[in-house]
A = this chain, B = another copy of it.
Amino acid sequence: MLTIEKQLVTLNQDIAGQEIGIPVYRLFDDRQKMRKKVYVQSAVHAAEMQGSAVIYRLIEHLKTLNLAAEFVLVPNCNPFGRTQRAGEYLQGRFDATTGNNWNRFYHYDRQDAVEFVRGLTDEDFEQLNKGDETSVIKRFKSHLLTQLQNKIDRDWGVNTAQFLNTTLQEMASKADLVLDLHTGPSSTRHIYAPHNLAEQAKAFNIENIISIPTSFAGALDEASFTPWWDLAELLLERGVTFNYRVDAYTVELGSQENISLDAAEQDALGILNYLSEAGFLEGFEGVPLTPSVVTELKNYKTLFSKHAGMVEYLAKPGEKVSKGQVIARVLNSLEFDSENAITEVLAPATGTIILHYPSAAVQVGTQLFKIAISEK
């Protein structure tokens, strides 16, 4: 039978000392001892709220399905960013004091795997050679969790983003699958998948897939899967093929500052479809898939503005554009009496517009567009 547990994990306090926490939902079927675990969080960038609506929809569906895993779901997982207003919007992308991106202070250290492998015994290798990875998986998870717990320097403390990220990662580190739900600014749906899962990711039913290397650049998905690639690599050096991986994705569900419960239903169905195909649940009937395009990260490029001014975005998220096509116009109000009132912005390559900046007001260096370039 399905059990739903809710816990409020306190992280933030305001200056009056009042505690502010995050709701953590735990869903499991208590008839079976769960072996697998799925961790889903949303809104670590607090204005990227659609993922929280998706978690709501997921909980509704999970109640009606057979769970083959324990699910830990954490909507609005950033109690710091969530209270930070900037004009009419929510500036929940970075610590308003330090500029630290709330999504870049997860823990990763290659030494974690190095030390762990150094500690393996002959007996461990024997077991691995027999193809039994169970004990090593369990102990490496435990080892990684210990590193996280040690991360917080008891004497000197850690910064706010590290504190947030480490706490979330402690929950995520127990999972076999990690989904970090985000949105872009003005954006079409897209997903970051580690290269080995780029094909499998099509089950999410999201048109644009960005295939990323299995290395660490700060985010939770990378922090989740990279240690296991390190482990496999180090074991291979010792002659052992190690197959288990933690799988992790960053899923970008449209635009920030916005929620839609209808879109959330579609998003949830795609996620359930993946979960079903990956064996984390049973009884889901599937969804008809739309074709997806996989773009390698090196071909997913940012176009920065070379002008300040007021921008009209002509190319919309999801639209295909050709090299040289006018994709935006910059209006300069000091030149309304001249030929230079409008500067055209051209697509530097052929590809798909994934997202654009959410405001017409840009400065030099503003991230105007991100484009998934089509390879020839």
Please report A residues at the B interface, Cβ cutoff 8 Å.
4, 6, 8, 11-18, 20-23, 25, 46-47, 49, 52-53, 55-56, 59, 73, 75-76, 79-80, 82-91, 93-101, 155-164, 185, 257-261, 301-312, 329, 331-337, 341-342, 348-349, 357-367
CA of A156 to CA of B301 in the docked complex: distance in angstroms?
A: 8
Given known pairs A155-B348, A301-B156, A331-B56, the reply for A361 and B257 (CB within 8 Å) is: yes
CA of A15 to CA of B332 in the docked complex: distance in angstroms?
A: 7
Minimal Cβ-Cβ distance residue in B for A63: B337
Contact B87 A331 (CB under 8 A): no
Partner of A76, one of B15, B49, B163, B357: B15
Minimal Cβ-Cβ distance residue in B for A369: B156
How close is A189's CB to chain B, nearest CB, in angstroms?
A: 17
Contact B83 A88 (CB under 8 A): no
CA of A161 to CA of B95 in the docked complex: distance in angstroms?
A: 17
Contacts of A89 in B (CB 8 A): 86-89, 358-359, 361
Minimal Cβ-Cβ distance residue in B for A18: B20
Partner of A14, one of B6, B20, B93, B156: B20
Pull 27 A–B residue pairs with CB atoms less than 8 Å apart, ordered by A.
A4-B337, A12-B308, A15-B308, A16-B79, A17-B335, A23-B336, A52-B310, A53-B312, A55-B336, A75-B336, A84-B84, A84-B85, A86-B89, A87-B90, A88-B89, A88-B358, A90-B361, A95-B99, A99-B100, A157-B303, A158-B365, A159-B365, A159-B367, A160-B363, A258-B360, A259-B310, A259-B331
